[in-house]
Structure 1
Amino acid sequence: MIETITKQRIQSIDFLKGLVMIIMALDHVRDYFHYSAFFYDPTDPTQTSFPIFFTRFITHFCAPAFCFLAGTSAFMVGMRKSKSELSGFLLKRGIWLVFIEMTVVNFAWYFDVYFRSPGLLVIWSLGISMIVLAALIHLPRKAILAFSLLLIFGHNLLNTIHFEGNVFWAILHEFAFFKLTDSVEFVVGYPIIPWIAVMALGYYFGSFYDKSFEVVKRKKLFNLIGILAIITFIILRFTNLYGDPVLFKDYETITKDLISFFNPSKYPPSLLYLLMTLGTTLLILANTEKIKGKVVAFFSTFGRVPFFYYIIHIYLIHLIALLFAELSGFGWRIMILQDWVTESPSLKGYGFPLWVVYSVWILVIILLYPLCKKFDTYKQSHKEKWWLSYL
């Protein structure tokens, strides 16, 4: 039996988008509210606990899954447009996202009117990936696949290459901070490589949602690739042969060993990081096409308005943090940040237990749901408005 691209199938993608967006908010709440966030890395096996690590670990899947699905969605948009129309859309939307990162999003993180810590973070990576994808879509499908796999599997060969103080190399493949003036620091958090390959790979996989591709065959294929990716991750991680600049280390305790094993490098995302996260992404996609119900509809609501949700969730979290800082005696002004929140010296000593982090996270999701639901309804009933495709 051959199935067309139905609302149900698209909902499986919206469901996963919504799931990762909701989980992503947990990490951002942790940044602003957890006591230990201002003292040590939650993934450091020598200092963290398993609950703290898990709170960070579960969010590792968000950026890769969303970047991949953005590519898949681009392919689906292309089924209604010509290549030139899709290319133009991706180019304009990519430029728009880079602009939003440097303005609206940057201000949301810091509330600093002087913009003393401009940074290239996740929205930038999506924007630049769309700009590159605008050119890649004109290549044959096999060439797009080859490009994606070459960068994903080969980029860790660049780990030993460093150009001190070179912002262009950092933008290409290295997490870095640059002191522009005594008071302004530029952050490259999401280098271009391999993120552009993740989105391009998602675009390639979008072709498996063509009406000519059987549902059962797609499920088997996604399950097979997902399982092989995770097995490859386990083998490479355990043997330390290749794929991550930070090696797995045996601490001789189960908890620390697990933390070390399941903490591949994210900045930039290593091969092992992408095998672990994208493998899981494919397994979820393979096994959620037929699911229905209120829970699925709840997550899908966020997945249909991800950009809108992303912007307002940062502002909401930061505003609640101002309130908590004021009520806990530190004063709201400590949340007007010059440095990244967890790097701010003034925040050491501020913060709350992990249960508070989860409580605030749930509150944020509850408050955002009706807004996202209303905006989703507006988008669905006003599809003729071109500007909604940029939100």
Structure 2
Amino acid sequence: MERSEPVAIRPGAVANRITAIDVTRGLVMVIMALDHVRDLLHTAALTQSPTDLATTTPAIFLTRWITHLCAPTFVFLSGMSAYLSLQKQRTAGPPAWSARRFLLQRGLVLILLELTIINFAFWFDLQFRTIMLQVIYAIGGGFVLLAFLSRWPARWLGIIGLVIIFGYDLLLLIPPFSDQTARLIWSLFFRTELFNISPQFILLVGYPLIPWLGILLVGYACGPLMVRPAGFRKQTMLRIGLGAVAFFVVLRLINVYGDAAPWAVQKDGLFTVLSFLNVSKYPPSLQYTLLLVGLGLLILAVAEGADNGLTRVLTVYGKVPMFYYILHWYLVHLSMIAMSLLQGYSFADIPAGPLNFGRPDGAGVSLPVVYLVWITLVAALYPLCRWYGRYKAAHPENGWLRYI
């Protein structure tokens, strides 16, 4: 995901670095770690859905809800960065097929990482009795398809992306297939589903490819905007972001199409607002995408031209997204084990098996402690990300560094 800022700020110019992309990506990655710390360490995480309004609290709901921002923004920026990377490589001299081949290779590497290093970080299971296909699978698969689709103009791909985003909810009306193989193939592309392949192996398709491809393609189509003058792109992103959020509000008020979970009046005004915000991520609905991508664009616009201590810190994380993503999962999982041991459990008490993070029954910490662990882990990752970012910039001859 090479990024750049325009050498000459004119339409068609090729970017060298867009700092706002790094800042926005860094922000969502920092927020993302909060959700994963909550998933593995919070006392109620294994027994209570944070978005079930019948059992959740506002604090737990909002802790989960704010992290909804991460995946769609990450995927959108991946599409935008893919456009900038392709333009940069094409301008540098290699033929177009060479630039597309790199995108194909990068996509395959991301899928391989998802199936190996990342899934091991999820479960710490050398037998790999659970495979969970998440956001890296969706981005990797999207890159593979984009390697072929990028022959077409960006605006065409943007139209395809919008058709997917606006029409995808209709596919949810298709009943599940009775044939296991057909269900699996359909799920990989279209539907979130869990498969008990055998008593000792589970496949969880959390991020089916096609709905996330729609977001990636729209991000790709917005790539040309990022080589326009900074003021122009800031105002354009503000308009698009506000328009997407406004359209979400209209659709949500109508409450007919665009999300499988319509909102309803709850026991009080606060919970009614939470119901209104409680959009569907698995898979991403139209309303979810409008709201979260819209908010992501507003953050990108605010980050445009911002230069302060916070943005400089976020840029450190945003320059090395895959390095951060892999490391943070290992640190979160190790923190869960450390928590269990500190609470008096032994290694013998750590459960194993399919779909099991390895947290003993009864282990866990309160929500304030979750926030403390989250801040500590993010701070611990800062010097590592800064070192790796500098190392990567100083060694462009190491081609493998482009993949992580």
Q: Distance in 2 between matches of 1:130 and 1:334?
A: 41
Gaps of 5+ in 1: none
Partner of 2:220: 203
Partner of 1:3: 9
Partner of 1:121: 134
Partner of 1:68: 76
Question: Structure 1 residues 305, 336: closer, same or farther in 2, change over 3 A?
Answer: farther
Is 1:163 the equivalent of 2:171? no
Q: Deviations over 1:149-199 (max 9, x none)?
A: 000110000111122431011112111111111121111111012111111
Conserved in 1, the CA contact under 8 Å of 2:238 and 2:298? yes
Conserved in 2, the CA contact under 8 Å of 1:15 and 1:303? yes
Q: Which amino acid aligns with 1:191?
A: P
Q: Deviations over 1:225-284 (max 9, x none)?
A: 111110111111122121011111211412221221111110111111100110011111
Q: Distance in 1 between matches of 2:158 and 2:28?
A: 24
Conserved in 2, the CA contact under 8 Å of 1:14 and 1:303? yes
SS of structure 1 residue aligned to 2:213:
helix
Match runs of 1:43-54 below 5 Å? 43-54=51-62
TM-superposed deviation, 1:90: 1.0
Give the counterpart of 2:64 among 50, 56, 63: 56
Partner of 1:261: 276
Q: Deviations over 1:339-385 (max 9, x none)?
A: 4457x7x6442211101100110110111111111000101111222
Question: Structure 1 residues 135, 366: closer, same or farther in 2, change over 3 A?
Answer: same
Partner of 2:384: 371
Partner of 1:325: 340
Gaps of 5+ in 2: 1-7, 91-95
Conserved in 2, the CA contact under 8 Å of 1:109 and 1:318? yes
SS of structure 2 residue aligned to 1:37:
coil
TM-superposed deviation, 1:80: 1.9
Q: Which amino acid aligns with 1:39?
A: T
Is 1:386 the equivalent of 2:394? no
Q: Which amino acid aligns with 1:119?
A: M
Q: TM-score, normalised by structure 2?
A: 0.92
Give the counterpart of 1:35 among 13, 33, 43: 43
Partner of 2:200: 183
Is 1:299 the equivalent of 2:305? no
Q: State the identity %.
A: 38
Q: Distance in 2 between matches of 1:376 and 1:243?
A: 40
Question: Structure 1 residues 187, 295: closer, same or farther in 2, change over 3 A?
Answer: same
Q: Distance in 2 between matches of 1:196 and 1:183?
A: 31
Q: Deviations over 1:203-232 (max 9, x none)?
A: 11011122xx23322222211111111011
Report the more deviating stretch, 76-85 or 6-15: 6-15
Q: Distance in 2 between matches of 1:23 and 1:102?
A: 24
Conserved in 1, the CA contact under 8 Å of 2:207 and 2:283? yes
Partner of 2:162: 149
TM-superposed deviation, 1:301: 0.3
Give the length in aligned residue pairs.
386
Question: Structure 1 residues 280, 337: closer, same or farther in 2, change over 3 A?
Answer: farther
Q: Distance in 2 between matches of 1:6 and 1:368?
A: 31
Give the counterpart of 1:280 among 277, 295, 298: 295
Question: Structure 1 residues 347, 256: closer, same or farther in 2, change over 3 A?
Answer: farther
Question: Structure 1 residues 322, 382: closer, same or farther in 2, change over 3 A?
Answer: same
Q: Which has the higher contact order (CA 8 A, sep 6+)?
A: 1
Conserved in 1, the CA contact under 8 Å of 2:279 and 2:285? yes
Is 1:131 the equivalent of 2:137? no
Q: Deviations over 1:3-55 (max 9, x none)?
A: 36799961111000100001000000001110011111001111111111111
Question: Structure 1 residues 90, 337: closer, same or farther in 2, change over 3 A?
Answer: farther
Conserved in 2, the CA contact under 8 Å of 1:250 and 1:257? yes
SS of structure 2 residue aligned to 1:242:
coil
Conserved in 1, the CA contact under 8 Å of 2:340 and 2:363? yes
Conserved in 2, the CA contact under 8 Å of 1:94 and 1:130? yes
